[in-house]
Amino acid sequence: MESARLHVVFLPLFTPSHMIPCVNAARLFAAQGVKVTIISTKHNTLLFQTTIDQALELGQEISVHNLKFPSAEMGIPEGIENLSAATTLDMLGKVYFAILQLQNAMEEVVEEISPHCIVSDMFYTWTVDLAEKMKIPRILLYPTSFISHCLSHNLEKYEPHKSMKSDSESFLIPDLPDKIEMKRSQLEEHLKVETPFTEVIKSIKESEHRSFGLVFDNFYEFEPQYADYLAKVRGIRRYWTIGPLFYFSNKVGKSDKIADVNDSCLNWLDTRATNEVLYVSFGSMTKFSNVQLNEIALALEDSNQPFIWVVRKKENDQENQQESWLPDGFEERITKENKGFIIPGWAPQLKILNHPAIGGFMTHCGWNSTMEAMTAGVPLITWPLFAEQFYNEKLVQVLKVGVSVGADHWNFSPVIEGPLVESRQIEEAIKKLMSNSEESREIRNRAKETAALAKKAVEEGGSSYQNLLDLIAELKSHAFGVNC
């Protein structure tokens, strides 16, 4: 009966690392017969419209309610509605506060459509009050690893970094399932000094305990020790792992693309040997300085390793200024020798990672990229930059599925100006992972074992598959008072 059909509203934060998992989760719910509404804005919806169209073609009931983004009120150029589009720290702040200004409009829409449940991004802490007011469940969606929460929790609890004499001195994080060391320079700013973000984190944790439950873009078998540890130390009563969301979502209908892309790089990959090519990409938010880009280019060429490199340059870099960030004659040499493929902007990352020619992935350790690589069985060269990425690097090290370039400075900025990671460090990491040494073969084998676990988790009877069914059944029971 239509009257007994579960209706769930999804509220994504407008940045790819949060929006993609939220939309994929919405797609999974719709594939299970749930009526789904996503609250978005015009230009953000364009980024995932293909996914919505595919769901509709399959007869799934999923709709998008677009709100007007307050660009003019915040002094933001028309069309910039996503954090990844910000080109300066000032603009980043304006876009973030513009998103926060949508709270009243979002609340009005949710109350008007009267869903049975709210699935909310972690940063929309106000949704817990709205859910309590409407007497419906609020699910908090975490697009993050368990280990990141565990490390952050213990750093806040024990504060081992505060006894260090310098930022470069290593310290042990106490009371964890594994021996994990970090440097103060690798920590988020709010752990070192009181910042406005300190209060945001406190608010997220408070809303966590008032939520109906938590959903993680993860699968239990990936980091079981840290899933159990987090539930214990944070007192989490109810949570569901339903990931990898991108892979699970693809099983109910292809949703690889977030933008139109040129697949010519895939044709180039078809000409390469198995595990021969290194894929280099640092996510949707990272733009390096010209000096750092030059160091990466030098390392790629000197390593003599075939590569695909996705480059996001500063906005004022024009095509005719490439010599300012590429070594002299670089493009001509790699083209002549058929050694590399440079992609400006976006790339079909899932297709690239799942191509048999890909043997490694140099990454910023964003959670989406980490999960995509592990599900494809591709080992990593880790180069964390900001957010929880240094924590994710520690998971890669615990699982022994990658090597590090040695980055040790947390640096959140639309353009990463420094400290410089030199070409020598980068080249050493490339050779260490991409060689045919016993160590690299063991790393690759462990990555492939992890991929098998990820794929099993979303198959019928797998942990993530069953968790999704259990969650929907519990929400139906809550909404209708019967076991559905």
Q: What is the mean pLDDT of residues 377-381?
A: 99
Q: Does residue 324 have a pLDDT over 50?
A: yes
Question: Does 256 score more than 50 pLDDT?
Answer: no
pLDDT in tens, 383-412: 999 999 999 999 999 999 999 999 999 998
pLDDT band at 318; cut points 50, 70, 90: very low
- The pLDDT of residue 27 is 96
CA contacts within 13 A on the Cβ side of 459 = 6
Given the residues 7, 121, 153, 217, select the one marked as catalytic. Answer: 121
- Rounded to the nearest 5 percent, the helix, strand and coil shares of the chain are 50, 15, 35
pLDDT exceeds 50 at position 451: yes
Q: How confident is the model at residue 313 (pLDDT cuts 50, 70, 90)?
A: low
Residues 261-282: what's their mean pLDDT? Answer: 91
pLDDT at 317 over 90: no
What is residue 262's predicted lDDT score, i.e. its pLDDT?
54
Residue 214's pLDDT band, with cuts at 50, 70 and 90, is: very high
Nearest to 458 by CA among 223, 218, 216: 218
- Known catalytic residue at 260: no
- For residues 153 and 146, what is the distance between their CA atoms, to the nearest angstrom? 11
Among 307, 386, 298, 474, smallest CA distance to 83 is for 386
Confidence of residue 320 (pLDDT cuts 50, 70, 90): very low
* pLDDT of amino acid 483: 61
Q: What is the mean pLDDT of residues 304-331?
A: 76
**Section 115-130 average pLDDT:** 98
Over 70: is that where the pLDDT of 362 sits?
A: yes
Among residues 7, 18, 149, 153, the one annotated as catalytic is 18
The predicted model gives 92-112 an average pLDDT of 97
Average pLDDT value for the chain: 93
Query: Which of 68-72, 171-175, 234-238 is the least confident region?
Result: 234-238
Q: Residue 265 — φ and ψ, nearest 5°?
A: -65, -30
135 or 264, which is more confident:
135
Does the pLDDT at position 108 exceed 60?
yes
Contact assessment for residue 185 and residue 408, using Cβ atoms and an 8 Å cutoff: yes
- The per-residue pLDDT for 257 is 43
The verdict on whether 478 is a catalytic residue reads no
Instruction: Write out pLDDT tens, residues 35-84.
Output: 999 999 999 999 999 999 999 999 999 999 999 999 999 999 999 999 99
Element (H, E) at 10: strand 7-11
Read off the pLDDT band of 2 (50, 70, 90). Answer: very low
Are 183 and 155 spatial neighbours (Cβ–Cβ below 8 Å)?
no
- pLDDT at res. 356: 98
| pLDDT score of 197 more than 90 | no
Q: What is the mean pLDDT of residues 88-106?
A: 95
* Alpha-carbon span 43 to 45, nearest angstrom: 5
Taking 60 as the threshold, does the pLDDT of residue 1 lie above it? no
Helix (H) or strand (E) holding 299: helix 290-303
pLDDT at 235: 92
* % residues pLDDT > 90 (the chain): 86
Q: With 90 as the cut, is the pLDDT of residue 448 above it? A: yes
